[in-house]
A and B are shown apart, each in its own frame.
Chain A
């Protein structure tokens, strides 16, 4: 029997007993954990999956994930897997549960009258090859996760340099959106910079911050307050006209913090505070 014929035969058998299979599947953990007590929905999802498999087997494209019927498979599985990942399950768990779908099918084919008996060794080898695929996918995914995490860390580090502008004056040019994780990193590196440089003035330059909302303003306020607790003065510079308008519009009170329009104004102010006088040209 050729592979095409075998696939067509499988499609026929699956199609003939799809309700039975779907009922069996709907009772498996893959479906029950997502759909809970809603048997009908679990059954509906299971039967869509079986029908998609019938089509795949019938079209002889069971190996081709680009086949149109795989869209249905993806649709059903994406709901299940994303729900599982949100609740803290990992890839391995989902894979194991998909593997369990195999059990009712083998039982069914074993009891199928006139079915060609498949050597148990062949089944075992097939399962083994399946596991190899899963292992490869898991490794690939975990490696790309690591790459993403490393790049995020690197981005975090290069995006918050504390620069010594003058004796006793440090500055952090902020570029990009300030979220709570980044502002935490900025705050820590700025405070450590103040200790290292024995700085009396710290400048937060927000020229590169595209947008300031209440949350970002709150992060800025917190940073400024921590700087003040350390005994240094905090200046926020680089407030563009639109951002000034937004801040006023949102009613954010930045009066407790010294603000300047540009980094150079902030530096001038800082120099005056630290008692440095520039020549007539400055």
Chain B
């Protein structure tokens, strides 16, 4: 089964979801993100969903749960690049993505967590 790649940049994880997220894939993603955050040293998680055009109630719940998982593990979550149609669907279904911040693009999300991305990256690049 395909997995969604989780990239680490400094102390921030970047997950870019491209294409529609099937239920099984979403469950695997939740598991993988949880495992990656609990491996330690992670202060922020960026979920880039700019490639997702359709959400259903299940996916909305999984996204909310991923955000809740991460904040429980001490990492702040930013959901980036929600498309208008997806935003309307989430609101109509009553999801508010509590526990996550939102950013209009991956770039804005990185800027939001900038303090976390930069210093650790420098530390990490040292010998």
Contacts and interface: CB of A to CB of B under 8 A. Distances in A.
A229 B90 contact: yes
A191 B104 contact: no
Interface of A: 187-188, 191-192, 194-195, 198-200, 222, 225-232
B68 to A, nearest CB: 16
A198 B104 contact: yes
Nearest to A193: B84
B6 interface: no
Given A200-B104, A230-B102, A225 B96 contact: yes
Contact of A222 (B82, B92, B103, B105): B92
B88 A231 contact: no
Given A191-B84, A195-B84, A225-B96, A231 B102 contact: yes
Given A194-B104, A198-B104, A230 B91 contact: no
Contacts of B91: 222, 225-226, 229
Contacts of A229: 79, 82, 86-87, 90-91, 97, 102
Q: Is the interface of B mostly helix, strand, loop or mixed?
A: mixed
A199 B108 CA distance: 11
Given A192-B84, A194-B84, A231-B103, 4 more contacts: A191-B87, A229-B79, A231-B81, A231-B108
Count chain B CB atoms within 10 A of each CB in A191, A227, A231, A232 and give the residue with the most: A231
17 contacts: A187-B88, A188-B88, A191-B87, A194-B104, A195-B84, A195-B104, A198-B104, A198-B105, A222-B92, A229-B90, A229-B91, A229-B102, A230-B84, A230-B104, A231-B79, A231-B103, A231-B109
A191 B92 CA distance: 14
Q: How large is the interface on B (under 10, 10 to 19, 20 to 34, 35 or more residues)?
A: 20 to 34
A232 B103 CA distance: 7
A195 B86 CA distance: 13
B90 to A, nearest CB: 6
Contacts of B82: 229-231
A225 B98 CA distance: 11
A188 B86 CA distance: 11
B104 A231 contact: yes
A198 B81 CA distance: 11
Count chain B CB atoms within 10 A of each CB in A187, A192, A229, A230 and give the residue with the most: A229
A224 to B, nearest CB: 9
Sorted nearest first, the 9 A-B pairs with minimum C-beta distance are A191-B84, A231-B104, A231-B103, A226-B87, A231-B102, A229-B87, A226-B91, A225-B91, A222-B91
B80 interface: yes
A199 B105 CA distance: 11
